[in-house]
Amino acid sequence: MNNRNDENLKELFERFVGADEAQSAVEDFAAAQRILSEHPVPGPDKELIAAIKSEIAETVRRSKERAFRRMAYKLVPVAAVFIVLAVVSIKMFVGNGGPETITYASITPMPASVWVSDDVAADDFELAVLTAQIDELEGQVLTLELGEDSGNGRSAVTELEVELVAINSDFW
């Protein structure tokens, strides 16, 4: 078998160089192989191999741990959304089981006849009073703007502001 390998090696070298040079290269190659087999290289210590394997295992573990954390950080918001949707769905769809009833309520204490009327301000006494006070204030503001007031304008403005505050507090 060794002879066959030498012939194959010689044919390979002959493709690149001449026949004499190929024979010389095969002999050099055989001599180098003989020298390497006579002087074997010692293998690494078992402790060194164990330390390298331990370091590789620790690196792989940390890498997997980081990958798991990244995946968990991406999945936590999605899971939270699903939990919230599930809770809301349960609260919406699971109730007393009966048909829903609509409750009507008035936002103002006025009777329904007031809202049917064409003149709401005249039908409701409180609204009529507020409308009159607003008209009065409007007249006073117009008087102040035109400068027709014969008295001190500063006190009229202050009085007007006080009345406006009183009306607002009565209304609400």
Q: Is there a single domain that holds both residue 64 and residue 78?
A: yes
Per-residue pLDDT tens over the stretch 37-47? 888 888 888 89
Q: Is there a single domain that holds both residue 33 and residue 48?
A: no
If one counts the domains in the chain, the total is 3
- Residue numbers of the domain that contains 148: 112-171
Residue 78 has pLDDT above 80, yes or no: yes
Q: Is there a single domain that holds both residue 88 and residue 138?
A: no
Q: Is there a single domain that holds both residue 53 and residue 89?
A: yes
Q: Is there a single domain that holds both residue 136 and residue 90?
A: no
Q: Is there a single domain that holds both residue 58 and residue 88?
A: yes
Q: Is there a single domain that holds both residue 97 and residue 124?
A: no
Q: Note the pLDDT of residue 119.
A: 66
Q: Is there a single domain that holds both residue 34 and residue 49?
A: no
Q: Is there a single domain that holds both residue 48 and residue 37?
A: no
Confidence (pTM): 0.30
Residue 57 has pLDDT above 80, yes or no: yes
Residue 58 has pLDDT above 90, yes or no: yes
Q: Is there a single domain that holds both residue 54 and residue 80?
A: yes
Q: Note the pLDDT of residue 142.
A: 76
Q: Is there a single domain that holds both residue 4 and residue 53?
A: no
Share of the chain above pLDDT 70, in %: 71
In SS3 terms, the chain reads as CHHHHHHHHHHHHHHHCCHHHHHHHHHHHHHHHHHHHHCCCCCCCHHHHHHHHHHHHHHHHHHHHHHHHHHHHHHHHHHHHHHHHHHHHHHHHCCCCCCCCCCCCCCCCCCHHHHHCCCHHHHCHHHHHHHHHHHHHHHHHHHHHHCCCCCCHHHHHHHHHHHHHHHHHHHC
Q: Is there a single domain that holds both residue 128 and residue 141?
A: yes
Per-residue pLDDT tens over the stretch 100-156? 666 665 555 555 555 566 666 566 677 777 778 888 878 877 777 776 555 555 566
